[in-house]
Amino acid sequence: MSRVVTIEEPPPSPQLPQTRCREKPGASGSVSANRPYDFLYDPLFIVSSEKDHTQANIQANLIRNRLRRVPRFRTMFSNLIHYPRYSLYWSKVDPVPAFMSREWKGQEEKHREGLWQLAIMDTSFQMAKEVYEDPDVTGKNRYKYFERPFLPFHQQVPFNVVFAATKTQAYTFLPISAKYPPVLSKHTVGTQTDYRDAEVQTDPYSPEYVVCQDSIPELLTLATLTWGRGLPAGQAEVEMIERAREKRAWEATLPCLSDTSQFEKRRRMMNAMERKEWAFREQEIEKLQEIRLEVLKELLKKRDENQNEVNMKHLNARWSQLQEAKEAKLAQIQHTHVVAIRKLAGKGRNIEGKLERRNIIKDYSDYASQVYGPLSRLGRFPDNNSEDFVVKNYYLNTYEGLVELESSLPDFVTQPRIRPPKPKVTTTKAGFLKRAARMDHELAEVHKAILDKKNKVLEPKKLLRFLQRKAVPQPRLPTPTLEMSSNEEEDIEMAVIYLQKLLRGRVVQNMMFEGKEKRLELIQELRTSHALQEDDRLLKKAEKQVTLALQRQRNLHEHKVSLVENHLAGLEGRVLADMFDFLSKELVRLQEERRIHAFAMLAERQRRMREAEESGRRQVEQRRLREEDQIFKEVIKVHQNTITSYLEDIILNTEENTAEEQARAEIEKMAEEINDVAYEMESRRTQLQSEEIVAELVYSFLIPEVQKEFVKEKVRNAQRKHILAAHQIIHGHTEDMVKKNFVEQEQDEEVSDTDKSPEEDTQNKNSS
Q: What is the pLDDT of residues 547-566, one digit of tens each?
A: 888 888 888 888 888 888 88
**Own/partner pairs, 284-293, CB within 8 angstroms, 24+ separation:** 284/601, 284/604, 284/605, 284/608, 285/605, 287/601, 288/598, 288/601, 288/602, 288/605, 291/594, 291/597, 291/598, 291/601, 292/598
**When comparing pLDDT for 694 and 163, which is higher?**
694
Round to whole Å and give the CA distance between 673 and 665: 12
pLDDT for the residue 192: 55
Look at the alpha carbons of 530, 534, 539, 545 in this order and tell me if their dihedral is positive or negative. Answer: positive
Round to whole Å and give the CA distance between 629 and 393: 133
As a whole-number percent, the residues of the chain with pLDDT over 70 amount to: 79
Round to whole Å and give the CA distance between 696 and 705: 14
pLDDT for the residue 305: 94
Among 285-299, 311-325, 727-741, the minimum mean pLDDT is found in 727-741
Question: In the predicted model, what is the mean pLDDT of residues 1-27?
Answer: 39
Round to whole Å and give the CA distance between 760 and 439: 54
**When comparing pLDDT for 2 and 189, which is higher?**
189
pLDDT for the residue 6: 35
Return all residues near 16 (Cβ < 8 A) that are at least 6 apart: 148, 149
Residue 687: which pLDDT band, with cuts at 50, 70 and 90? Answer: confident
163, containing H or E segment: strand 161-163
**When comparing pLDDT for 710 and 317, which is higher?**
317
Residue 733: which pLDDT band, with cuts at 50, 70 and 90? Answer: confident
- Is residue 767 predicted with pLDDT exceeding 70? no
Nearest to 196 by CA among 149, 265, 256: 149
Round to whole Å and give the CA distance between 373 and 367: 8
pLDDT in tens, 508-534: 998 888 888 888 888 877 776 655 566
The three-class DSSP label of residue 415 is coil
- What are residue 344's phi and psi, to 5 degrees? -65, -40
pLDDT in tens, 101-128: 778 877 777 777 777 777 777 666 666 6
Residue 308: which pLDDT band, with cuts at 50, 70 and 90? Answer: very high
| SS3 of 490-544 | HHHHHHHHHHHHHHHHHHHHHHHHHHHHHCHHHHHHHHHHCCCCHHHHHHHHHHH
Round to whole Å and give the CA distance between 46 and 53: 9
Look at the alpha carbons of 252, 257, 259, 261 in this order and tell me if their dihedral is positive or negative. Answer: positive
Residue 686: which pLDDT band, with cuts at 50, 70 and 90? Answer: confident
Longest distance between any two alpha carbons in the chain, whole Å: 202
Question: In the predicted model, what is the mean pLDDT of residues 307-333?
Answer: 94
The three-class DSSP label of residue 459 is coil
Residue 20: which pLDDT band, with cuts at 50, 70 and 90? Answer: very low
What are the start-end ranges of the E strands in 405-497? none
Using the 8-state DSSP alphabet, how is residue 427 labeled? B
Residue 316: which pLDDT band, with cuts at 50, 70 and 90? Answer: very high
pLDDT for the residue 163: 44
- Is residue 684 predicted with pLDDT exceeding 70? yes
Whether 58 and 73 have beta carbons less than 8 Å apart is answered as no
pLDDT in tens, 200-250: 556 666 777 777 777 777 777 777 777 777 777 788 888 888 888 888 888
pLDDT in tens, 457-495: 777 666 655 556 667 777 777 776 766 667 788 888 888
- Is residue 760 predicted with pLDDT exceeding 70? no
pLDDT for the residue 528: 65
pLDDT for the residue 529: 60
Residue 1: which pLDDT band, with cuts at 50, 70 and 90? Answer: very low
Look at the alpha carbons of 280, 282, 283, 289 in this order and tell me if their dihedral is positive or negative. Answer: positive
pLDDT for the residue 26: 41
pLDDT for the residue 414: 77
Among 146-150, 264-268, 289-293, 551-555, the minimum mean pLDDT is found in 146-150
Round to whole Å and give the CA distance between 70 and 402: 90
Residue 393: which pLDDT band, with cuts at 50, 70 and 90? Answer: confident
Which segment, 7-11, 176-180, 448-452, is predicted with the most confidence on average? 448-452
Where does residue 714 rank: exposed (0-12), middle (13-18), buried (19+ CB within 10 A)? exposed
What are the start-end ranges of the E strands in 580-629? none
Question: In the predicted model, what is the mean pLDDT of residues 379-385?
Answer: 71
pLDDT for the residue 406: 84
pLDDT, mean over the chain: 77
Look at the alpha carbons of 52, 53, 56, 62 in this order and tell me if their dihedral is positive or negative. Answer: negative
As a whole-number percent, the residues of the chain with pLDDT over 90 amount to: 10
pLDDT in tens, 137-187: 777 777 777 665 554 444 444 444 444 444 444 444 445 444 445 555 565
Return all residues near 202 (Cβ < 8 A) that are at least 6 apart: 227
- Is residue 3 predicted with pLDDT exceeding 50? no
pLDDT in tens, 618-633: 899 999 899 999 999 8
Question: In the predicted model, what is the mean pLDDT of residues 261-290?
Answer: 88
